[in-house]
Structure 1
Amino acid sequence: MQIIVSGLIFGCIYALAALGLVLIYKTTEVVNFAHGEIAMVTTFVSYVFLTRYGLPYTLSLVLSLLFATLFGMLVYLLFMKRIHSAPHINQVVLTLGLFMVFNGFAGITWGYETVSYPEAISGSPFQFGSIFISGNEFFMVGLTIVLMLLFFTLFRFTKIGLAMRSAAQDKMASELMGVKVSGVFMTAWAIGSALGGISGIMTAPITFLSPNMMGEVLIFAFAGAVLGGFNSLPGTVVGGLMIGVFQNLISFYLSPDLKIVFVFLLIVLVLYVRPQGIFGGAKMVKKV
């Protein structure tokens, strides 16, 4: 049970990172390979707020999320918007280029040595039978639940959420109906970057802070999104939680070095049986 609970806690991080990926993909049809590096830069900014300026954790978190939101908007306005009508492969290659640029920038600015990142809540863990959960882990789970509920409420019951769903289904029809698609795309990048930034801030106390800290997290986030269904937001959350438990079981019973191998074997098996993912629906194909 301790392994499963710990896996679910890790799965919360993967689910948040995957939600940001899927939101950008559903809205713009671009797979953002720089997603993890945006989260990493946001985490370094949060670390600067905490250590150099001595800000409280809550204020640092809010300011960091504001930075991540603005960062995502700038990435779209300065880079992605300019190739909005280009082939998707060009957009994907650009995100790979941004991945390398952001990683190199973080290494030059903050160095490549790992540093410890403070926990939101420190102290002895709480015991529930044979299960131990720390205060920081409770904070991670609680923050994840609140953000997911807030995100789904925004996506389902607000005008911007309606505009995002409309743009995801048919961009041309949305523009004809008066939806400013470029503004919707910018909003998707902003929210997706904020979700990624939160996943980075929650990852840092566990794996330490470094320019390469989000590499493995991004792999598992991709895996969770593919497993649950890249077009399904609830499926993405479930997929991230499943990946968290699965990789924890593999690490404990086999070897930590094999967890990535077995995660990808699971993905290959799922894609072979159900290519759209467990919760992904059939994609409609337009007839010409």
Structure 2
Amino acid sequence: MNGFGTFVQLVADGLAQGSLYAALALAIVLVNQATGLINFAQGGMAVLGSYIGMSVGNLLVPTNLILGVLIGIIVAVAASFGLGALIERFVMRRFQGGEEDTKVVATIGLLTLITGIIALIWGYNFLPYPFFFNTGLSFTVGGIAISLWSLTTFLTIVALMIVLQLLFTRTKVGLGLRAVADNPNSSALSGIRVGRMLMIGWGLAAALGTIAGILLAAKAQLNPGNFDAILVYALAAVIIGGVDSPSARSSRPSRSRCSRTSPAPMSPGSATT
């Protein structure tokens, strides 16, 4: 392969790997937009959802490969959404109104707990994730070989970002999430159930992270520490791009416009029911 072909191949692989960082970074931004908190347990939640999908998929793959993989992915995304919502409702909400440092420590504790649960159930060995195709496969365009995994990963993450953008700009749930992110007290007075919106936000972030985890596991296999290194790059992306990334900024109202009409602060209980 000539130098140009190698360059294109490396660019394709880099875009795929970078899209995984972007997906995890977007999940972190989703939680931060809703709660003002950096969730250090995001990677662990993604890996746990991936393990659940792998277990379900392995039960069905001997019967039908495609059906088994599809059902496994659907179960993984649904389970991670529920996990994220439950964590917000029964764990993180207990720290509402507390010190920011305490909330951060709580997410680190969650990461340790989730990693321990994964290791207790599935162990520390690398386990293959069932997928539609061999991730070593590639196709040739103009004499340039491009990994099928790279193309699938990049297109999947781009499609998910488009769907999320439409969700935040074209649906009532998305508008509710934006309103709660900007001013929970005003949202509560408008009849929006703030607590429910926070649960949905955490659930969406967990589901998005799990999809990234499945795509990573399809190539690198599953391990409790799958996202340990990638979380560092995702946090770097969040810091460089800002918690108000271009996608998030376009989906969030201007705080300055809302603050002029904000009502008097409500009690914590009334804002989270």
Normalising by the smaller structure, the TM-score range is 0.7 to 0.9
Shift of 1:283: 8.3
Aligned residue for 1:86, secondary structure, equals coil
Shift of 1:17: 1.0
CA deviation profile, 1:244-286 (whole Å, cap 9, x unmatched): xxxxxxxxxxxxxxxxxxxxxxxxxxxxxxxxxxxxxx986x7
The answer to whether the aligner puts 1:203 opposite 2:216 as a matched pair is yes
CA deviation profile, 1:180-205 (whole Å, cap 9, x unmatched): 11111101001000001001101112
| Structure 2: gaps spanning 5 or more residues | 1-7, 62-66, 261-273
Aligned to 2:64: none
CA deviation profile, 1:6-51 (whole Å, cap 9, x unmatched): 1101111111111111011011111110000000111111111122
CA deviation profile, 1:198-226 (whole Å, cap 9, x unmatched): 01101112222110111011111111122
The answer to whether the aligner puts 1:24 opposite 2:36 as a matched pair is no
Aligned to 2:271: none
- Residues of 2 paired with 1:206 and 1:223: CA distance? 23
- % of aligned pairs identical? 29
Shift of 1:101: 0.3
Greater mean alpha carbon deviation, residues 85-94 or residues 32-41: 85-94
Aligned residue for 1:126, secondary structure, equals strand
**Out of 190, 196, 199, which is 1:186 matched to?**
199
Aligned to 1:68: 80
Checking the alignment, whether the CA contact within 8 Å between 2:21 and 2:234 is kept in structure 1 is yes
Shift of 1:139: 2.2
- Residues of 2 paired with 1:19 and 1:283: CA distance? 20
Aligned residue for 1:52, secondary structure, equals helix
Aligned to 2:69: 57
**Out of 41, 48, 57, which is 2:48 matched to?**
41
- State the number of aligned residues: 245
- Residues of 1 paired with 2:215 and 2:94: CA distance? 32
- Residues of 2 paired with 1:45 and 1:216: CA distance? 21
- Residues of 2 paired with 1:130 and 1:217: CA distance? 32
Checking the alignment, whether the CA contact within 8 Å between 2:182 and 2:255 is kept in structure 1 is no
| Structure 1: gaps spanning 5 or more residues | 237-281
What's the TM-score, normalizing by structure 1?
A: 0.78
- Residues of 1 paired with 2:49 and 2:55: CA distance? 10
- Residues of 2 paired with 1:42 and 1:9: CA distance? 21
Runs of 4 or more off by more than 6 Å in structure 1?
A: none
Counterpart amino acid of 1:93?
V
CA deviation profile, 1:112-158 (whole Å, cap 9, x unmatched): 11122233333731112354223333322222122111111001111
Checking the alignment, whether the CA contact within 8 Å between 2:42 and 2:209 is kept in structure 1 is yes
- Residues of 2 paired with 1:184 and 1:139: CA distance? 31
Checking the alignment, whether the CA contact within 8 Å between 2:23 and 2:208 is kept in structure 1 is yes
Aligned to 1:150: 163
